[in-house]
Structure 1
Amino acid sequence: MKKATNIAIVGATGLVGKAFLELLESDHFLDSNIHLVASKKSEGQKISLRNSNHVVGALEDFDFSKMDLAFFSAGSEVAKEYAPKAVNKGCFVVDNSSCFRKDKTIPLIVPEVNGEALTEDTVPGIVANPNCQTIQMVVALKPLHDLFVIKRIDVTTFQAVSGSGKLAQDELQIQVRQQLKGEKPSSHIFNKQIAFNVLPHCGEFEKNSYTQEEMKLVWETHRILDANIEVSATCVRVPVVNGHSESVHIETHEPMNIDIAKQCLSEAKGVKLLNEEGPESYVTAVEVDGTDSVYVGRLRMDLWNKNRLNLWVVADNLRKGAALNSIQIAEILFT
């Protein structure tokens, strides 16, 4: 394994960037030097990390030749321009944007599911981090797929506003205050009011009437888990600050046994199974905020078919859905 002496966090001042800093504070790459990078407008900003102040550098002037590893969380346009430049300087890049996810020459990785696809030959190079809701779903479904072979997935996601960035979080809070004052909420980030509402619309609409977020679940599940699985998704934006939830219904080729399904999930890496009954059989987005596992609960067999199972999947989209998954990718290749 290679040693990551110097690590750059590109997009260090954003929501995912801050999640990276929380994780790197005390749990990961403790012997590495961390360099914070953002746009020109954030240059010079000081951020506390590991008992010292780190000064944010401007991406436009940053020298990637001195870096072993860079985590990009600054959007597709930035990744498209700067990630290849970093690689050409000998730096390994893990990118959180959608820029490289459909490029079959670039690995799309969830370590618990297809981490074996990474080898030392991947460095230097680019690895794409999947979309947040895909990550938590495939982590939950991988052990079930290994046992029963999933034929079809029907999923409805309930996605927090943090998935749209800090301005989206701010808009939710502003609209809540406006609504409680009896004022008409103003919308700028979302096309409709998000406070006290749900929007069946995450991402731009494709020509087939599905949204980009819905199609990401299809494309990415095929790349990461199994290209033969039928996937149908509805992605809903909900007035939750952070944490994505999913109602998942699967159909398998082999008949399922609920006790065996629970047993394999209880032993699965990265999964926390809620193996209780009634109100203790699930957690909510509020409860998983700031945690690192994928929580699975409300397991129940379909009433009419032994090949169908329902489950509830929740995770922190900024951590396991972005920063933590990226760090886990890097930890396969670096010490």
Structure 2
Amino acid sequence: MSELSFLPFAQARRRAAETVVVDSLLPGASLTLAHWRGAPTPVALCDDTSAGSVLRALRQTGAIPAAARYVTANHFDIDGFIGVWSLLNPEQARQHEELLHLVATLGDFRELDWSHPLATTALKLACWLNAKEQELFYPPFGAPVLRRREDEASAEKFAWFLPAFGAVLENPNAEAATWAPAYERVEQAFVVVQSPQTQLHRYPEIGLLVVHTLEPLPYYALFGPTAGYDMVLSCYAGQRYEFEYKYTTWIDLESRPTRPRLPLHALAASLNAAETAPHRWTFEAVTDTGPLLRLAGKTLSKVQRYADPDQRPIHASTISPEAVEQEVVQFFRQRYAHIEPLKDWTWEQIRAAGAAVATLA
């Protein structure tokens, strides 16, 4: 493969035929390596993460078109960044392939297998990326607040991180002052998840994991046990709840079939009928990257919804944890009984599946 260089997305639109696009869509691109729903990623290169598709391409001779000169992405996040960086640093990426895949998975799905020998290193790298992004730039989904387009503003993040990451990958501990506060916060939360303070109720037949614990936790700890599940109901002390569709149901997951996201109108209506708190149960559309069902006070911004649960207000309900769990489980058991898990759902199929079960009582 020829040596590639990074090209900001706005410029890449004019050089699409010479550009590999990562974790994004670019009409006319020489190659797409993205797990986005419907992305034209070659079947042999499909992976749960976009970075994983890049790493597969680096293993296969001739996978990167000879005409490719550039690589781009239309946003900055950990998965996309790892993919872009790997294409620019293929030898180093091959040497650290397993670690990079773990970092990308943690960044997008918030899943981390703490028994993996590289788990702590992956967490250090993810925490460093997040901390530096927060220190030097705007937060994820924060570009509109600055009255900027993400595909343009994110180029500044790439310009800073691309030359800096390789040294941190080789020696994460040299940057401990940066990643340690977030790392220790997650590490302490993971101890809580593993302790008797936390109970996990698993419903694999509907892809739901229910977490009962005392206080809201950072996602990297909260979602650690959720691999293989696509929905999480978090139940905190004081009758505080959040239900979330994981990002695994927004993209085309390669490793296993999934169930389609369903509109939550009927579930919210049922909870609201039983609720006597001053707040109402609200939810986002199925096309949101991570729809939340929760008691709404002041409307959360996308930045707040993407941030960790312990960084946003979660209001007390008057419904018991047992009743909320039963309501959620019953809702999905009834509706998913009519739907088989599949790979490569289209948004049209997802909407149709939701419409087909919308009238169920």
Common topology (TM > 0.5):
no
Q: TM-score, normalised by structure 2?
A: 0.27
Larger helix fraction of residues: 2
Larger relative contact order (Cα-Cα within 8 Å, sequence gap ≥ 6)? 1
TM-score where L is the length of structure 1: 0.29
